[in-house]
Chain A
Amino acid sequence: MTAAGEPLLRVQGLQVHFPIKRGVFVDRTVGHVRAVDGVDLAVDRGTTYGLVGESGCGKSTLGRAVLRLVEPTAGQVLFDGTDVASLRGEALRSMRRRMQMVFQDPLGSLDPRQDVESLLSEPLRAHGLGGGKAGIAARIRELLDAVGLPSAALRRYPHEFSGGQRQRIGIARAVALEPDLLIADEPVSALDVSVQAQVVNLLEELQQRLGLTYLVIAHDLAVVRHISDVVGVMYLGSLVEQAPADDLYDAPLHPYTRALMSAVPVPDPVVEERRERILLAGDLPSPANPPSGCRFHTRCPWRQETRCDDEVPVLRELAGGSSRPPHLVSCHWAEQIRDGLLTPRSAEEVAATQGVSVRPRGADDAGGDSLVQGLDEPTEVF
């Protein structure tokens, strides 16, 4: 589905740093949280870009920075060729009509005092669209129909709906202005499993019908794989890997991606029993004081002395890569890891060198290790 020409959204070197303030009388800035630290990505028209990562990796901040809901510290956001950061006032407002957002918590993002009719007509009125009262009423009915809600919903308030229906209202509001780009921040994570699929299907259906471009931000790798054409994996504010969805899941190259995917349980006991698990040591380091060199080196089972600690890896395409869009990875040793030339260390060894821990130790240490599947054997090579 790669449309010819310029991508709809291009993000270049985007940085968002939040100052950390201290002091009672004087606001001293004592440091910065580097929430987003140099991200480049491009989203083609009519496609879905999925952004995954753990909480605190900066994926939501990135989504907000694209819409300028938070001001970027540096870098460019080019939407349809225009730099969003250069826009002011009216120009920015009309640009926002073309980029809309669906939020994670549908109850928190809908005004509890507005009924559905007023919720949906507000964006139309604000942008002077819809053509008068009758036009707006007709448009709202059309929208409700598109997201699968009955027209009886018009007079009701958000609290009267179930979570899935609320998210449908949120989506209807976002598509009311016929945007080109829809940024969905965790659109299904607050919903029950049986309802998640309804909303995922709705998003896909709307994309086909309206030709929307999506930037989907989620922590659920299975959902992202399901709806994305291209997937980017974020760790501590930067992209560590980016590839077409199936490529990424079939052959993840970055150690973090591999660990992340091996950690996702699959609802099938047969797969579960055979699944190779890569346990990571410790927690996400603080984005206020990120590790030197490769940011993943403190938890990486494949870390090699000094180079990983000192040299920041760049996002690059491996030699021989042929996919379009290219499979990019930021790891010094991606080729060696792919070809199985390097063996990973267990989480304990990583923990020992970095002073963090991952699993129980102590009384049962002697016999317990062999019980942990795949922990002590070097992980399989392809």
Chain B
Amino acid sequence: MSIEALPPAAPDRSAVPVLEVEELTVTFTRRGERPTRAVDGVSFSVAAGETIGLVGESGCGKSVTSLAVMGLLPRRGVQVGGSVRFNGAELIGAPDRTLRELRGADMAMVFQDPLSSLNPTVPIGTQVTEVLVEHRDMSGKRAVAEAADLLDRVGIPDPTRRLKEYPHQLSGGMRQRALIAMALACSPRLLIADEPTTALDVTIQAQILELLRELVVDTGTALVMITHDLGVVAGLCDRVHVMYAGKVIETADRHELFARPRQPYTGGLLASVPRLDAGRGTPLTPIRGSARDAIPWAEGCAFAPRCDNAQDDCLTEVAGSTVPLEYDGPGRELRCRHPLTYPRQTPAGAPSSGSTDSGSTSSGSTASGAGR
């Protein structure tokens, strides 16, 4: 399939989603230890040309979710439950052969650390052409030409020379580009990017984000962006799922989420990040404790021990049930019994960035800061 054959810009969002994940659970078991549930009933879907963000701190299960979707988790010691449908076809329990045909061709992944995801003993060219030969049945010569073209598209200068080089000879940004080139080789319908810019400097991060943004617009690829950086999410994602301790705790459009976070955790994250456009000495409001203080979901809201809004009925013992993920206005879902509230409801879609009562996320005059 070539790029021209794919739908052009502004795809139809109402179409069948490319990826549907329902009630995905991942449990790691180890002999002699209690099983650990890393992902606990996560559901989301992505349509063509849409970008969704999975946000959370380390250990919240966002990377395991992506590995489970790609079928990259080891067989032994891992139980994957729920449903992952790609173009309507179920992937959980699908035979290896099917998965292998899909991976690299229709669904691709970009990992966080480009140096450890590239084979250090094989030239870049071989690694890129491998995908083309395998999935697009190209002859060696044509694959090399196509690979050079791919590297050129992702902005690697002098691609024919670079194809002969080894990963260590490339800079960090260039390695990440090479990895993206490999992911794009077969024009996948779904791209999962797991912290693609975390290891990079900001100026290089800006280049890579621009590349991903163009990719989504030009080819209609569905993009799942996994990150801990709220700034990256704000600039790139259409919808955002905030994860905590293996569960999605809040889902919203990005404008809604940043203007009116409802889960105290989301509000807390926004209030604890220093902003480039906030002046010196603007106080930061950190979240108490650390992600280690989470309690199991069976006992109540995992965030309750760190939450300022927590009350007795956040615990299962008192309320009689765990906290469910519930409808919370158009396009929003929330898992919280005592969410943050906003006195004046401005109409949805009219973004007002200065209205959070959790303070400090912005103060009206902020927009001027960056870029000036």
Contacts and interface: CB of A to CB of B under 8 A. Distances in A.
Nearest to A50: B280
A265 B229 contact: yes
Nearest to B157: A357
A113 interface: no
B273 A193 contact: yes
A356 B203 CA distance: 15
Contact of A277 (B206, B217, B274, B290): B206
A263 B205 contact: yes
Contact of B202 (A201, A219, A271): A219
With most chain A CB atoms within 10 A of its CB, the pick from B206, B233, B275 is B206
B284 interface: yes
Nearest to B199: A55
A226 B284 contact: yes
A201 B284 CA distance: 7
A164 B289 CA distance: 9
A274 B367 contact: yes
B279 interface: yes
B280 A361 contact: no
Given A197-B272, A277-B206, A361-B155, A267 B370 contact: no
A355 interface: yes
A229 B279 CA distance: 11
A19 interface: no
Which among A197, A220, A245, A260 has the greatest number of chain B C-beta atoms within 10 A? A197
A154 interface: no
B218 A263 contact: no
Given A194-B57, A359-B211, A261 B370 contact: yes
Contact of A263 (B203, B258, B273): B203
Nearest to A256: B203
A197 B174 contact: no
Contacts of B152: 361-362
Interface in B284-322: 284-287, 290-292
B3 to A, nearest CB: 6
Contacts of A372: 210, 214
Contact of B274 (A200, A250, A265, A284): A200
Interface in B172-224: 173-174, 201-207, 209-211, 214, 217-218
A249 interface: yes
B273 A356 contact: no
Contacts of A225: 274, 276, 278-280
Interface string A186-228: 0000001111111011000000000000000001111101111
B232 interface: yes
Contacts of B285: 197
A371 B353 contact: no
* Chain A interface residue number, banded: 35 or more
A195 B286 contact: yes
Interface string A249-290: 111100000111111111111111011111110111000000
A375 B234 CA distance: 19
B214 A164 contact: no
Contacts of B171: 283-284
B282 interface: yes
Contacts of A27: none
Contacts of B155: 357-361
Given A162-B292, A263-B206, A359-B207, A200 B153 contact: no
Contacts of B292: 162
A254 B278 CA distance: 21
Given A269-B235, A271-B366, A283 B58 contact: no
A91 interface: no
B75 interface: no
B254 interface: yes
B276 A279 contact: no
Contact of B353 (A164, A196, A263, A268): A268
Given A192-B57, A272-B235, A277-B206, A249 B276 contact: yes
Contacts of A198: 272, 286
Contacts of A355: 157-158
30 contacts: A164-B290, A192-B228, A193-B57, A193-B269, A195-B286, A197-B274, A197-B286, A200-B284, A201-B284, A225-B280, A226-B278, A259-B203, A260-B203, A261-B276, A265-B231, A265-B232, A266-B234, A267-B234, A268-B234, A268-B361, A269-B255, A270-B367, A271-B277, A271-B369, A280-B206, A284-B171, A359-B155, A359-B207, A360-B211, A362-B153
Given A269-B234, A368-B214, 12 more contacts: A165-B290, A192-B291, A193-B269, A220-B274, A266-B369, A270-B353, A271-B353, A271-B369, A283-B173, A283-B174, A363-B153, A364-B214
The 7 closest A-B pairs by CB, nearest first: A265-B231, A197-B286, A197-B272, A267-B230, A263-B206, A226-B274, A276-B371
